[in-house]
Amino acid sequence: MDDVLTQQVFSALAKVKPGVGEGLTAERTLESLGLDSLDTITLLFELEDQVGVSIPDEEARSARTVGDVIECIRRLKRVVAAGP
């Protein structure tokens, strides 16, 4: 999963929660990285700005791992790219 989107998510995580860069993988849970609910919301807002998608609340609530966040954004970008 070493692509631009993954790097954007990792970078946003490091910005929101400095020090999480060590051992950061898609399999890590947001909780294991020390993100509380406010950190998670901040992360999602940061990513929305970076990638230009709006993450619905139900999608945000279901994200448990870094990989979940990456795949959620990947899905949303495909929907936006496909258009109406």
Domains and CATH numbers, the chain: 4-82 (1.10.1200.10)
Are 33 and 20 a contacting pair, CB within 8 Å? Answer: yes
Tell me if residue 36 is catalytic.
yes
Among candidate residues 2, 3, 36, 57, the one labeled active-site is 36
Are 26 and 66 a contacting pair, CB within 8 Å? Answer: yes
What pLDDT sits at residue 74?
A: 92
What pLDDT sits at residue 2?
A: 57
pTM: 0.87
What pLDDT sits at residue 21?
A: 76
- Name residues whose C-beta falls within 8 Å of residue 3's C-beta, 6 or more positions apart in sequence: none
Question: pLDDT tens string for the chain (84 positions)?
Answer: 459 999 999 999 999 999 887 789 999 999 999 999 899 999 999 999 999 999 998 988 899 999 999 999 999 988 777 776
